[in-house]
Structure 1
């Protein structure tokens, strides 16, 4: 055994500063839009070299926590990490795990009804209008694959809009992340052409919107639970159809 083989990996100084800054943000109750201390102040605050502080600021920028602005009034400003920025690395992590609809719907069936109920009474007239427009978009007969893909993405966007109104940020993120995973799965597997699936999605979304207008939480929960079971069923059908087509292809085209 080599000497030091089992020693814990030494943390880079810049990573130490990143963690220190994150703790400082919490302790000081800083918010998106607030400016971090300037470079000189950070050096004095944390006691590290200029190059290490600069590396730490770059790391914070890459992680989406700060935006570096140049010129007058420039500096490092805190920013809210976007859902896309947080979701993409997790989706990349799962990219080679051979996901299928069952993996995603095992969670979606549990989480979507909870999220749906959490939104009851919280939708604004503007949000109702956007949901209605989303449903209208999904009722138009697509004429090509691009329009069909747009409709499939719009069907998921209906759920994303609900997630945006969810008061629980963890539940909201998890459901949006699952929607992103499902969108990736549909696009990569080209699971697009399933007309009946689109019709049932529109039907459930229309019923859900009516239940939201009545602020009927029990009906919202029931409809969303049924919707998820139905959507999983259609997803299984699409995956089976894709698998069958794959087997029929000549070996050189698989």
Structure 2
């Protein structure tokens, strides 16, 4: 289906938006190949340079991958939170926002996520949450495993809330959520305290108790902030910086 010629202003962006709309209209799935370049040039009534700019933008956003050679071309992908990570981190860096920005957001939002998760999380995801709690318990001496399960636990609750925005928001911040990447340390006594908090949160969610779930999460985040303020105040006030 040919589309009417697009106005010159921001043509590449408009073409990118139309390509996404057509992906959904056609019901394309991950791994499907989009029409070849010559077809898309006619379909969107634009020049080769504009079309390629549109495709490069969509590749950066994770909507497609561009495979070279015969049988290649644009292939549909599932976008993830990586582009949101870059955008949010850059925005905060240019605002000179301190790491405290993250802890304040967690204080406000994560109790709500836990509340919703207690009402909406599937039994399958609840089992995964318990697995995370148990894996943390069994590996308290291994900081790498601890940090991995800490992030997994909070990510599962965010997605278990049934709110896509919460899920992607936590996904986008996983790299800096706990502060370990910028200097907050977790000695074994602190890891044990975090495990106990996670167990309390899990039990409240498993009991399908919204109030207890929100309260347990609020207490957990409060303890984390209090620990950071006491031991690592300079980290809380350090500006967020975009990095790999």
TM-score, normalising length: structure 2: 0.77
1:11/1:90 Cα in 2 relative to 1: closer, same or farther (>3 Å)? farther
Instruction: Tell me how far 1:70 sits from its aligned partner.
Output: 5.4
Larger Rg: 1
* Contiguous gaps of at least 5 residues in structure 1: 1-9, 244-254
C-alpha offsets along residues 31-78 of structure 1, whole Å, 9 cap, x if unaligned?
543543332221112211234323322221122111234577644233
Deviation at 1:172, TM superposition (A): 1.8
Map of 1:117 onto structure 2: 115
Q: What do you get for the CA RMSD once the two structures are aligned?
A: 2.9
Correspondence for 2:64 = 66
Alpha carbons 2:121, 2:162 under 8 Å: kept: no
**What pairs up with 1:174-213 in 2 under 5 angstroms?**
174-183=169-178, 185-189=179-183, 191-213=184-206
Q: Relative CO higher for 1 or 2, CA cutoff 8 Å, sep ≥ 6?
A: 2
- Distance in 1 (CA, whole Å) between partners of 2:147 and 2:231 is 13
Aligned to 2:98: 99
Query: C-alpha displacement at 1:159, in angstroms?
Result: 0.4
Q: Per-residue deviation at 1:216?
A: 1.3
Gaps of 5+ in 2: 1-7, 237-244
Moved over 6 A (4+): none
Deviation readout 1:166-188 (Å, 9 max, x if unpaired): 321112222333443324x3222
Structure 1 residues 178 and 233: CA distance shift in structure 2, 3 A = farther
Tell me which residue corresponds to 1:6: none
Indicate conservation of the 8 Å contact 2:159/2:166, yes or no. no
Aligned residues of 2:118 and 2:208 also touching (Cα < 8 A):
yes
Q: TM-score, normalised by structure 1?
A: 0.74
Question: C-alpha distance in 2, partners of 1:188/1:242?
Answer: 7
Is the CA contact (8 Å cut-off) linking 2:140 and 2:146 kept in structure 1? no
